[in-house]
Chain A
Amino acid sequence: MKKTYNIEVDCANCANKMEDVAKNTAGVKNASVNFMMLKMEVEFEDGADVKKVMKEVLKGCRKVEPDCEIEF
């Protein structure tokens, strides 16, 4: 299952870091951050609890970029 979220981040490098974090979060099959559109596309593993996974993703992203935001 794929979902797209709006994100808020200021620098392109941070966006890349967020993508790495999202990719390595449990329950996420693949993720891609589009810095220009400020979108994060997340492909979840089957049966993953989307809300819970996204909470983890945000937590991880906050570690690499304290000011970032993901709308979910």
Chain B
Amino acid sequence: MNRKQKKMLTRILCALALMIGLAFLPVEGWLRFVLYMIPYFVVGYDILRKAVIGIYNKQVFDENFLMAIATVGAIAIAVTGEGDYTEAVAVMLFYQIGELFQSYAVGKSRKNITELMDIRPDYANIERDGDIVQVDPDEVAIGSVIIVRPGEKVPIDGMVIEGESTLDTSALTGESVPRDIAAGAEVTSGCINLTGVLEIQTTKEFGESTVSKILDLVGRASSRKSKSEDFISKFAKVYTPIVCYSALALAVLPPLVSMLVLGLDANWMNWIYRALTFLVISCPCALVISIPLSFFAGIGGASKEGVLIKGSNYLEALSQVDTIVFDKTGTLTQGVFEVNEVHHSNLDREQLLYYVAHAESASSHPISQSLQRAYGKSLDLSKVSDIQEISGHGILAKVDGKHVAVGNHKLMATQQISFKECHYVGTVIHVAIDGEYAGHIVISDVVKKDSEQAIKQLKKNGVKKTVMLTGDAKEVAKQVAEKLHLDEVYSELLPQDKVEQVEALLEGRNAKEKLAFVGDGINDAPVLSRADIGIAMGAMGSDAAIEAADIVLMDDNPLRIVRAIKISRKCMKIVYQNIFFSIGIKVICLILGALGIANMWLAIFADVGVMVLAVLNAIRVLFTKKDFERTKR
């Protein structure tokens, strides 16, 4: 509890003690009034002060004003009646208890959830004059060597230059199996070093490191509000005035009607009391607090499991996903190609791979990477010039002064080079040197081991259609799609075709059915932003993907999508529960209050009780972990 809350607690306890004491004190008349005013002011002076400021600032419909009117009104009735001030003081007392609980619960869950996401390293160790000193990670320049001991967090992205260890990446990826690393391996900040001492040369500044990016992203996430939140804030805006005017009507109309029309006793006090009960119920706190809290807990819980959601709106949309479009390479497949065959080449394998690897040296495309790997030797970049990458076709470059063209059959066609078809299933890379066909390389990609399970789980969790888009050849695409039981597959697409395809899929859908696109963030930024929800995979490090996507999966396990959808569904369920529950109870209390069945005691308990329950329910969003272990197995 902070200082403010402690002070409030003291005030509440004092007022409570005074009230108990007064209950045994046989005083009557004005003295009784004065004595009861002591606990009233002790517990409610700030409300009264704010109410006065509110009137001065023309903010009539805030809860301070309402509570002030309700309690002052109840006191006035008590003064004219038999002098039972307990009710008025108790209403103020319970209102404050409710406020205190709310403030405490929100503060506590704010802290818990932030801690959950807290991967911020506090310091970095650097060696200075033979001593290891702790410095602020912000002060470490690129290229510095930092030392990470077992049990410490890696503070900044970098490369291991000495040491062997295992890393716990669970804070980033949710993946519980530790990762082995040795010299030469890239490490991401936020991981925890488990076994050995590591010397790491930083490759980024702290502000550009993965940890900072994630914190920044998650921190801003709940600023993007969902429709439910907008609905609630709009509702709160009209709810309070409506209840207040109803209260006014309730205080004035029935007595007037019974007096003038029916000729009965007006019974003013009774109706005014009912109206004041209305005012107590008019505070929309429970609703307004529980909805953002649920979303915050949802986003926090998801990030704990390696799913970064950029806004409450995306969490909401994710729960309505009915179509998921996958990119193939790197998403459903590992994106690690292996060179299987070299065909029809007049050069030997080594020589062909030499040209190919050099031509592809500037590309980060998974195919290029695997060709470079297949070559296996270090590249001499001075031998390459005039590199031209033609998206969806391939690469043209000059290697050793020769014009090398590496790409698919479309590239060969545009270069007017006749080529030989390959009868193997796999991705075929044709090569031409100085306009002469130099054979082709067959490479193949491996389906991720969890892809099939993920597709199955998605179907089970209400996703109606799964689609795969790929730039790859038809046969390869078909093979993968059949293996994974995908509903639709579109192959041989250029990046811009993918956007068109997604647009075609988006057409004629109703607003409640969302389409998500899942890609690995390479070459598919336009599609990521075009889909209702763009999900980037394995994005540790890829800035473009983090930028373009709405949801970022920290590793490339497709099962995380299932997990993300489950969290979003649970979160939305709780949000709707809270909306209906809070509004429902309020409406019932309003009706009971108008009929004279509910008194002010019940009203304040309804108000505070609903809020407490809604807050507790919201926090429930966080507890979903066990279920994941089951789906994983």
Contact = CB atoms under 8 A, between A and B. Distances in A.
A39 interface: yes
B223 A13 contact: no
Interface in B45-89: 49-50, 53-54, 57, 59, 62-63
Nearest to B5: A10
Interface stretch (B205-213, B285-293, B491-499, B510-518): B285-293
Contacts of B222: 34, 36-37
Nearest to A37: B219
Interface residues of B, number: 31
Contacts of B57: 63-64
**A interface SS class:** mixed
B296 interface: yes
A41 to B, nearest CB: 5
A34 to B, nearest CB: 4
A16 B236 contact: yes
B333 interface: no
A66 B50 contact: yes
A36 B50 contact: no
A36 B285 contact: no
Contacts of A66: 49-50, 53-54
B220 interface: yes
B299 to A, nearest CB: 9
Contacts of B220: 4, 34, 41
Contacts of B102: 11
B63 A35 contact: no
B162 interface: no
B223 A34 contact: yes
A66 B49 CA distance: 9
B99 A39 contact: no
A67 interface: yes
B255 interface: no
B288 A13 contact: yes
B110 A13 contact: no
A10 B103 contact: yes
Interface string A26-50: 0000001111111101000000000
A12 B50 CA distance: 17
**B interface SS class:** helix
B236 A32 contact: no
Interface residues of A, number: 22
Interface string A1-25: 0001000001111101100000000
B45 to A, nearest CB: 13
A14 to B, nearest CB: 8
Given A39-B223, A64-B59, A66-B50, A13 B284 contact: yes
A63 B114 CA distance: 30
Interface string B289-324: 100110110000000000000000000000000000
Nearest to A31: B223
A13 B66 CA distance: 14
Given A10-B99, A11-B285, A63-B57, A39 B219 contact: yes
A41 B288 contact: no
Contacts of B225: 32
B453 interface: no
Contacts of B103: 10
A33 B223 CA distance: 6
A6 to B, nearest CB: 11
Nearest to B216: A4
Nearest to A66: B53
Given A32-B223, A41-B223, A12 B288 contact: yes
- In the complex, which of the residues B62, B113, B224 has the most CB atoms of chain A within 10 Å of its own CB atom? B62
B99 A12 contact: no
B50 A67 contact: yes
A34 B103 CA distance: 15
B203 interface: no
Interface in B88-119: 99, 102-103, 106, 110, 113-114
A12 B289 contact: yes
Given A34-B222, A36-B110, A64 B233 contact: no
Interface in B30-54: 49-50, 53-54
9 residue pairs, one from A and one from B, having the closest CB atoms:
A36-B296, A63-B57, A12-B288, A12-B289, A13-B288, A32-B223, A34-B223, A16-B233, A66-B53
Interface of A: 4, 10-14, 16-17, 32-39, 41, 63-67
10 contacts: A11-B289, A12-B106, A12-B293, A32-B223, A34-B220, A36-B106, A36-B293, A41-B223, A63-B59, A65-B62
Given A13-B289, A66-B50, 5 more contacts: A11-B102, A16-B233, A36-B295, A37-B219, A64-B62
Interface of B: 49-50, 53-54, 57, 59, 62-63, 99, 102-103, 106, 110, 113-114, 219-220, 222-225, 233, 236, 284-285, 288-289, 292-293, 295-296
